[in-house]
Structure 1
Amino acid sequence: MVKFLLTPRDMEFYNLFEQDTSNLVAAAEMLVDLFDNYENVEAKASQLKDLEHKGDTITHDIIQRLHRTFVTPIDREDITLLAHSLDDVMDLIEAAGRTACLYRIAQPTERARQLARIVARVTHKLNEAMPCLRRHDQFPRIIKQCVEINTLENEADDVDHAALAELFEVCHLDACEVIKWREIYDHLESATDRGEDVANVLEGIVLKHA
């Protein structure tokens, strides 16, 4: 018999988390498009801001619902941590696009494009994992996605290190350009770090409820 984590009246927590990861995917894909097709940058950055606002609303709804709910489907601290960890990923995705727009960079580097694509892959993994929280028999799929997210985070570290090395090897870049790109790279790589944080929370929930 399939064992469920919660009664139907509590399902809204899972609905909200799934909305959140779906919104993350939309933002990450928008960021990939911003870097791959570097035109209408201000409009794309504005769309990223709108998606961030949507994410903030979802986070607020989760926390407000938590205050109103006596019996929660998973530990209260895990709900809070999961909501804020997802929000951190969104903030960094938006920051990467906003910074590129604000600094008026001429063209994205190939390393920036690579990092944006890794961020998008992480969000897709989170989006695939989140619905599996509803059913114990789907927990192994969560672990699988978490392992793959860890691999992606390591890949992002490697790309980030290579990007910084190349940045200092390009002799024609002035100090301002170096500072701009270091900040953009930091936002992108940090987004994968925070994505791994979400994966760690999910894995912890699985271990508690397995």
Structure 2
Amino acid sequence: MGFSFFPRTVKFFRLFEEQNRKLQRAAGHLCTLFEDGADTEEVCKQVNIIESEGNVISRNIARELSLTFITPLDREDIHDINVSQEDILNAIKAVSTRMEVYEPSRMRYPAKKLAQNIRGMVEESGKMLACLACNKTGETSMERIRWLKYESETLLLVGIGELYDCEVKDYGTILEIVKWSHIYDRIESAVDRVDTLGDILEGVMLKNA
């Protein structure tokens, strides 16, 4: 296959949106994972499948970028969006993996709400991608992402504070604190990565306004 000298706009944005739909599905499974009585093994299996599918899309985007001479966006912007969405999917998988390995004794409200916030942020990033494809602004979605990021920072502080405020009765309590500390660490990473995607999309929109 040779180089294309024409911007295959639809293909790039279609792939971005397909990639984001995978993120939304994974984020939905993440919310399920933090519900009481969830089938952790099955949910994590589904997240792993989605992550593998997402890797295929990421490689397709990278290949299209290498084969297209004139692109609808700056090449580095296409690369950054692609890598950022892949990073989010990896971060969601990291959270689900730790939930499967650590098997905490009970779910915690801050973690449940954080998972919902991640899903909300991912959904808003999808709206921003749709706006970018139509050369529209995504200010409302960006503001929503920032609000969810702010709320998530507060929830993380509450969640971690809750861990260390509990009465340590035995080794099991200490182990539970350690487990949730690691889980919250991965959740924080996922939140940060979705926020980074929002910043990237906002920058691309401003550049192409």
* Normalised TM-score (structure 1): 0.91
1:117 matched residue in structure 2: 116
Within the candidate set 136, 152, 163, 1:167 is matched to: 163
Where 1:36 maps in the other structure, the secondary structure is: coil
C-alpha distance in structure 1 between counterparts of 2:121 and 2:49, whole Å: 21
1:130 matched residue in structure 2: 129
2:25 matched residue in structure 1: 26
Gaps of 5+ in 2: 1-5
C-alpha distance in structure 1 between counterparts of 2:23 and 2:36, whole Å: 20
C-alpha distance in structure 2 between counterparts of 1:82 and 1:114, whole Å: 26
RMSD value over aligned CA atoms?
A: 1.4
Worse overlay, 62-71 or 28-37: 28-37
| Aligned residues between the structures | 201
Q: CA 1:82–1:209 in 2, change beyond 3 Å: closer, same or farther?
A: same
Q: Is the 8 A contact 2:19 2:54 kept in 1?
A: yes
Q: Are residues 1:39 and 2:38 paired?
A: yes
Q: Is the 8 A contact 2:41 2:100 kept in 1?
A: yes
Q: Is the 8 A contact 2:88 2:190 kept in 1?
A: yes
1:157 matched residue in structure 2: 153
2:10 matched residue in structure 1: 11
The letter of the residue matching 1:127 is: G
1:54 matched residue in structure 2: 53
Shift of 1:132: 1.2
C-alpha distance in structure 2 between counterparts of 1:56 and 1:174, whole Å: 38
Q: Are residues 1:187 and 2:189 paired?
A: no
C-alpha distance in structure 2 between counterparts of 1:177 and 1:81, whole Å: 37
Identity rate of aligned residues, in percent? 30
Shift of 1:192: 1.5
